[in-house]
Structure 1
């Protein structure tokens, strides 16, 4: 099913005409109302009237996350604060929080985008949607909540935490859709088993998972254990929140992007020039309809590629292939670029390992070292030490062969790696400690 048939199936020519019209209006609005963008446009030598085609977006200035921090809290707002009905913000764990404001129209558009997303995932108004993303300043919980209500489904606003209780509520309330991070779904699964609850015995049939990178191997693991369809959803708090893109249940191949509300580019993160069609690079997003805090060419740092081939679901929106990692979270180990998701794929292809792992980066002398700590399952942990050592050697060999980096692999006992109720902490960087 498709939520907005007229929009989500627009011919590309009509969609691009709509994008261009909205891009021109956006440029005029930010130039008139946001001092930061007026200066940035002037420094780049471009005026709103210079935008004649979608390709002209390349002449506009980029926006970086640091720009949001530099203008904390409301310096990038394009409307009077009286018109702002909601404010969200990032955690600010790596610096000042990044703030995002919303007018009532922004909130309504967001709810519609999330309703579209849930429909693409296979949900409908008769579903019971258990929202285990965090509520509050984090965009995940309320984004999914408003979308579920806009869809007309029954919404359970559980938020994060209280994992054992959540497992029981999933059983007692008969939820059919679960919204949370992929790593937390596995924590829920483990906790439920300890409480005597097997998710395969429940009505649960769909998982809408996002807010952290995850691999197809983790997807298969979740689907096999929980007996559900695991759907990847994409979003950024700076742009809007969850619902910027989502996979369709028919194909599960790339997230359909909400192109009537956003303009997407893929650039080389070093040269900042556009890459060729279908090539991998950094995703850049321009918000075409955001009123309170529109952003021009926001550098997401997410590394991916776009596909424009027709999808069997009927949607004409471009698809974003699963994010491979982040250009700023990428590890460089002795000159080799490594993303956690690449390591994860190798680990989850190995029988006897769990999806719980951490990458520990240290510096010995002038050289960086990488240690991969991964939990083994209960059965394997009880095996003889020699067998475990052979498995460590096999994983090290696979990482070296596939990624070209030497890593020390340490198999650890079940539950040795700390669980998270939000985003899993995959990287422990001790080089600057």
Structure 2
């Protein structure tokens, strides 16, 4: 089932031609209206007229999140504020928030791509979509909401929090599609079990999860505990919000990025060199239809690769492999590069532990230390000390075998690691404090 068959199944040659035309139009627009891009292009000794092919895109300089902060709040907007009908912003936990603006046409385009994404995930007009993404400055809630309305489905604007009520509403309102972060879906499953609610008795059949990295093992756990198909969605506020790419329910293998609106590249994060299709690196995205705040070669910091093989669903747009982490989430422990997802891949395959963990990084006598706090389930926690000691040693050994570094493992009681209604906080790095 397709939402927009004409564009979702365009031949590759037509996609490339459309991308080039829209790229050239976008470059002319930002060069004429955004001083930042004028200066950036001048330093690179290039003008929009020099971009004759998609291969020429590599000649343009990157745009960084810091550039957005340096131009806070409206310095990268390509239209007057009077033409902006919506403003969103990131949380700003690592500095000033990154601010994005949408024209009326941008909002319509966003709703179109979210409707397209919902259909790819298996949703349809008759669904009741339970939207537990946060509403407000965060793009997730309203992005999913407008897409659900565009689809013609019934949307429940739950937002995050009030978990017991979420479960009651899903029961009483007959929710069929759930949207939230993957970690919050597991929290919902945990809370439902405490209330004596079995997800098999609900009408839910699909979950659309994003906003944080998650693994195939977590997908299997979500699908088992919630009795649904778990679909990965990708987005970031700087580019659009949710709806940049999504898995199709037919394959659940790679996220179709809507190439009639975005041009993806994969680069070596250290050198900036473009990598061949299939090689893993940092995702760079150029928007080619946004009016409010176009982004030229934006470095997302997300680590993935491009999948070019045809998909069984019939969509022709290139796919992104599941995000394996972020360059700025990467920890360097005693010279070893570590992503939280690597730790998670070990933990989810060990019986007796829950998929709730935190990494505590510190420095003692100029030496980096890593402590992994991981919850055990009720049965394991009540076992004898020897069982817990053996479990601790197994985790330490498997981490050492995978990553080549030693770490401290601390097993904690069930439900003691803080739950989040939004993105789970996996890492606490105390080295800079």
SS at match of 2:260: coil
Secondary structure of 1:363's partner? strand
Correspondence for 2:359: 359
CA contact (8 A) 2:277 2:308 kept: no
Write the distance in 1 (CA, Å) between the matches of 2:201 and 2:345.
28
- The answer to whether residue 319 in structure 2 is matched with residue 319 in structure 1 is yes
The within-5 A match list for 1:130-145 is 130-145=130-145
* Offset from partner CA, 1:103-152 (integer Å, 9 cap, x none): 01100000010001110110000000000000011000000000000011
Deviation at 1:2, TM superposition (A): 1.1
Q: How does 1:216-231 map to 2 (within 5 A)?
A: 216-231=216-231
Aligned to 1:150: 150
1:192-341 equivalences in 2 (<5 Å): 192-341=192-341
Residue in structure 2 matched with residue 3 of structure 1 by the alignment? 3
Structure 1: distance between partners of 2:314 and 2:235: 22
Structure 1: how far apart are the matches of 2:183 and 2:345? Answer: 14
How big is each residue's C-alpha offset from its partner over 1:49-95, in whole Å with a ceiling of 9 and x where there is no partner? 10011111111111100111111111111011111110000111110
Alignment of 1:24-43 (within 5 A): 24-43=24-43
How far residue 7 of structure 1 moved from its aligned partner, in angstroms, is: 0.4
What are the residue-to-residue correspondences of 1:158-177 with 2, within 5 Å? 158-177=158-177
Residue 101 (structure 1) aligns with: 101
2:403 matched to 1:403? yes
For the 8 Å contact 2:269–2:327, the answer to whether it is kept is yes
In structure 2, distance between residues paired with 1:396 and 1:193: 30
Query: What is the DSSP-based 3-state SS (H/G/I as helix, E as strand, rest coil) of the residue aligned with 1:164?
Result: helix
- The answer for the alignment partner of 2:187 in structure 1 is 187
Matching residue of 1:390: 390
Contact residue 207 and residue 228 of structure 1 kept, 8 A: yes
Q: Deviations over 1:210-263 (max 9, x none)?
A: 001111110000101111000000000111000100001111111100110011
* TM-score normalized with structure 2 length: 0.99
Aligned residues, how many?
A: 433
Residue 373 of structure 1 corresponds to 373
Cα distance in structure 2, aligned partners of 1:63 and 1:241: 17
Gaps of 5+ in 2: none
SS in 2 for 1:74: coil
**Paired residue secondary structure (2:28):** helix
- Whether the 8 Å contact between 1:129 and 1:176 is mirrored in structure 2 is yes
Q: Distance in 1 between matches of 2:192 and 2:15?
A: 45
Partners in 2 of 1:165 and 1:316 — Cα distance?
A: 41
Q: 2:77 maps to which residue?
A: 77
CA–CA distance in structure 1, aligned partners of residues 55 and 388 of structure 2: 55
Q: What's the CA shift for 1:338?
A: 0.7
Query: Could you tell me how far 1:364 is from its partner in structure 2?
Result: 1.2
Q: Could you say what the CA RMSD is over the residues aligned between the two structures, in angstroms? A: 0.7
Aligned to 1:91: 91
The secondary structure found in structure 1 opposite 2:359 is strand
2:256 aligned counterpart, secondary structure? strand
CA contact (8 A) 2:61 2:297 kept: yes
* Alignment partners' CA distance in 2, 1:320 and 1:333: 28
- Provide the rounded CA distance (Å) in 1 between the counterparts of 2:383 and 2:389: 11
Cα deviations by residue, 1:140-170 (Å, 9 ceiling, x for unpaired): 0000000000011000000011011111101
User: Can you list the C-alpha shifts for 1:183-202, whole angstroms capped at 9, x where unaligned?
Assistant: 00011111111112111110
What TM-score, normalized by structure 1, do the two folds share?
Answer: 0.99
CA distance in 2, matches of 1:223, 1:170: 17
Once the 2 structures are TM-superposed, how far is the Cα of residue 4 of structure 1 from its aligned partner?
0.8
Which 4+ residue blocks in structure 1 deviate beyond 6 angstroms? none
Preserved contact between residue 168 and residue 192 of structure 1 (Cα < 8 Å): no
Q: CA deviation at 1:366?
A: 1.6
| Structure 1, unpaired ranges of 5+ | none
